[in-house]
Structure 1
Amino acid sequence: MLRKLPPAGVTRGSRLREFRTVASFMAPVWLGLLIFFGYPLVATIWFSLNKFDLFSAPRWFGLGNFAYMLQDADLHRAAANTLWLVVVLVPVKVVAALAVALLLAKLRRSASFWRTVFYLPALIPPVAATVAFVFLFNPGTGAVNTVLGWVGIEGPLWFNDPYLAKPSLVLLAVWGLGDWMIILLAAVLDVPRERYEAAELDGAGAFARLRHVTLPGIAPVLMFSALVGVIQTLQFFTQAAVAGSVASGKATVGQGRGAAFGYPDGSTTTFPMWLYEVGFGHYTLGYASALALVLFAFSLLFTVLLLRRFKSYVADGSVQ
């Protein structure tokens, strides 16, 4: 068999120099991955197989930390709350952001003003936004219940009600939809006008154009929004912790399992909150490392499932 000859002028030495050049440019990336991802991941796996309290040397525990998850009732509640947020918050926020983006895409006058208005809440720091939002929905003195009282409606307890606390967090997330809205708006405006004109000539109505023109045209961006939303919601911590603190009137971080943790009645305890409590409230860093690995595995699983689900959207640009 004839050996394939390299192109004229290409020698082993030139290939080696090219490889060294490419490797030198990629070295910072690889070093960053090894230092800030590879080493922490390996360390987390090691600590998850040990009993470790941060003060004494790790003691081998095998799969004991993972086995304890099966009987940890607080973990089960936190996982159920997080799953609820993933199933409800992400679709609601994506649909709301898409609806706002479609409305703004139709505006001809004052379009820049309204885009700024809807985007501004996304610029507010999460802690400040959550504090303000909880005060607005305060059952006794909040502006929302005050306005409802003017029209004869008795306002609910919102963040102080175990059954309404998570829906209230969804309202908070929808209020700050500006980052997703601006991405979806750019995608909607990027859909070629010729496709809409062709659909109108074929007699397609507004809903048909949305289904057969807009959604296929922005399918990759919708996939990106869903992926980012799932990953962010699986890491949902700040808003839930601050909302519980403000609604209960007590601090969550630093007090451990106080009245504010997951207030009310653990309804806002998320997986990352319980992981934090286990690691820095109980100082069981081995168990916390095992929880972190489970969270990483579920994030990866959700990502793979969503990519498989949307693969046909990106491949042929059609909504199945």
Structure 2
Amino acid sequence: MNTNIPKTKPSEPSPATKKSKRSNENLTGWLFASPWVIGLLLFFAYPLLSSVYYSFTDYSIFQAGEFIGLANYRELMTDELFWISIWNTVYFAVFFVPLSIIFGVALAMILNMKIKGMAVYRTIFFLPTLVPHVALAILWIWLLNPEFGLINNALNLIGIQGPPWLGSLFWAKPSLILMSLWGIGQAVIIYLAGLSDISEEYYEAADVDGASFLQKTFKITIPLLTPVIFFNLVMGFIGAFQQFTLPYTMTNGSGSPADALTFYVMYLYDNAFNYFRMGYASAMAWILFFIIMSLTAFVFWSSKRWVHYQG
């Protein structure tokens, strides 16, 4: 008896059924994503587009404001404090960012050495990044006090008269750079991750060729670490141009002495929340946006010449 029963193929769903199923899946996906989409539109897209419009008005918190065209931008071009704030911010960025890279890479190479208890040392150097900026500012105000500060007392022990630091036009910005360098532990962690990604085979081959420590550093370590340096360079410039908490806390918002510590974002904040010139502050915000975007684009363009990726 023949028991072979022919098998029937399951019927395929019709195109209309497939389209309906796909539509239901898309609807379900949008429903799950809707909280994020609503938050993006409500708390990011709307304020962003609104600030573009407000930058062309004399809007304040107390009145809707009228459209005044480019008046805010023209006034900024003749605002002396605006240019002072730009100079202070550029000064800080030009010195802090390269120094943070140099000290960060050097410190990461030291902390990458295979010695006993290195995990403890890494933790110690990372701890300053966990200190809130307000507490950090108060701590450094005490350390840099020209009369009873620990730094000037230490300098007096070796016969050096310490400067007035935050009370001096010359030393105010270098003091802020010094404080900021104290908290580069986060960048050091990123450099350490980059160093751990460099294969030991390169150093073994260099040892066979008789390369010195400096040769291995500048021919192997630095070139292969350039992708990480590139990342920290971009983030460093963005952070430097947004410097706010430390100078604002140390000077109580005054930017003293003689506006030497009045940074761009501080002046923007004053216009928005102290003088209630929201339209003027919006214009400043967009100028800052274009400065940062231009600088970032230049760094990306130049990276083709000096950033080397493994493989």
Normalising to structure 2: TM-score of the pair?
Answer: 0.89
Deviation of 1:24 (Å)? 4.5
Q: Equivalences for 1:1-320 in 2 at 5 Å?
A: 12-13=19-20, 15-17=22-24, 19-20=26-27, 22-245=29-252, 252=253, 261-313=254-306, 316-317=309-310
| Structure 2 runs not aligned, ≥5 long | 1-11
Secondary structure of 1:60's match?
coil
Q: Which amino acid aligns with 2:251?
A: G
Structure 1 range deviating more: 301-310 or 87-96: 301-310
Structure 1 range deviating more: 39-48 or 102-111: 102-111
Corresponding position of 1:4? none
Deviation of 1:188 (Å)? 1.0
Structure 1 range deviating more: 73-82 or 216-225: 216-225
Q: Do the aligned partners of residues 110 and 315 (structure 1) sit closer, same or farther apart at CA in structure 2, a change above 3 Å counting?
A: closer
Deviation of 1:317 (Å)? 4.5
Secondary structure of 2:145's match?
coil
Secondary structure of 2:148's match?
coil
Q: Do the aligned partners of residues 214 and 172 (structure 1) sit closer, same or farther apart at CA in structure 2, a change above 3 Å counting?
A: same
User: What does the per-residue CA deviation read over 1:79-136, in whole Å, with 9 as the maximum and x for residues that have no partner?
Assistant: 0100111111111112111111001111412201111111111111101011101211
Contact between 1:220 and 1:313, CA under 8 Å: does it hold in 2?
no
Q: How many residues are paired up?
A: 297
| Structure 1 runs not aligned, ≥5 long | 1-7, 246-251, 253-260
Q: Which amino acid aligns with 1:269?
A: T
Contact between 1:50 and 1:58, CA under 8 Å: does it hold in 2?
yes
Deviation of 1:217 (Å)? 2.2
Q: Which amino acid aligns with 2:73?
A: F
Greater Rg by CA: 2
Q: Which amino acid aligns with 2:137?
A: T
Q: Do the aligned partners of residues 198 and 15 (structure 1) sit closer, same or farther apart at CA in structure 2, a change above 3 Å counting?
A: farther
Deviation of 1:57 (Å)? 2.1
Contact between 1:216 and 1:317, CA under 8 Å: does it hold in 2?
no
Q: Do the aligned partners of residues 86 and 317 (structure 1) sit closer, same or farther apart at CA in structure 2, a change above 3 Å counting?
A: farther
Deviation of 1:26 (Å)? 4.4
Deviation of 1:22 (Å)? 4.8
Aligned-residue RMSD, C-alpha: 2.1
Structure 1 range deviating more: 108-117 or 301-310: 301-310
Normalising to structure 1: TM-score of the pair?
Answer: 0.86
User: What does the per-residue CA deviation read over 1:203-246, in whole Å, with 9 as the maximum and x for residues that have no partner?
Assistant: 3222222222212322222111111111111110010111223x
- Residues of 2 paired with 1:193 and 1:21: CA distance? 49
Q: Do the aligned partners of residues 313 and 224 (structure 1) sit closer, same or farther apart at CA in structure 2, a change above 3 Å counting?
A: same
User: What does the per-residue CA deviation read over 1:51-76, in whole Å, with 9 as the maximum and x for residues that have no partner?
Assistant: 11211221110011011111000000
User: What does the per-residue CA deviation read over 1:147-174, in whole Å, with 9 as the maximum and x for residues that have no partner?
Assistant: 1111111111111111111000110011
- Residues of 2 paired with 1:303 and 1:219: CA distance? 16
- Residues of 2 paired with 1:216 and 1:27: CA distance? 44
- Residues of 1 paired with 2:88 and 2:70: CA distance? 25
Q: Do the aligned partners of residues 169 and 33 (structure 1) sit closer, same or farther apart at CA in structure 2, a change above 3 Å counting?
A: same
Contact between 2:224 and 2:309, CA under 8 Å: does it hold in 1?
no
Secondary structure of 1:58's match?
coil
Contact between 1:219 and 1:317, CA under 8 Å: does it hold in 2?
no
Q: Which amino acid aligns with 1:140?
A: E
Contact between 1:48 and 1:290, CA under 8 Å: does it hold in 2?
yes
Contact between 2:143 and 2:149, CA under 8 Å: does it hold in 1?
yes
User: What does the per-residue CA deviation read over 1:163-200, in whole Å, with 9 as the maximum and x for residues that have no partner?
Assistant: 11100011001111111111111211221111111222
Equivalent pairs: percent with the same residue?
33
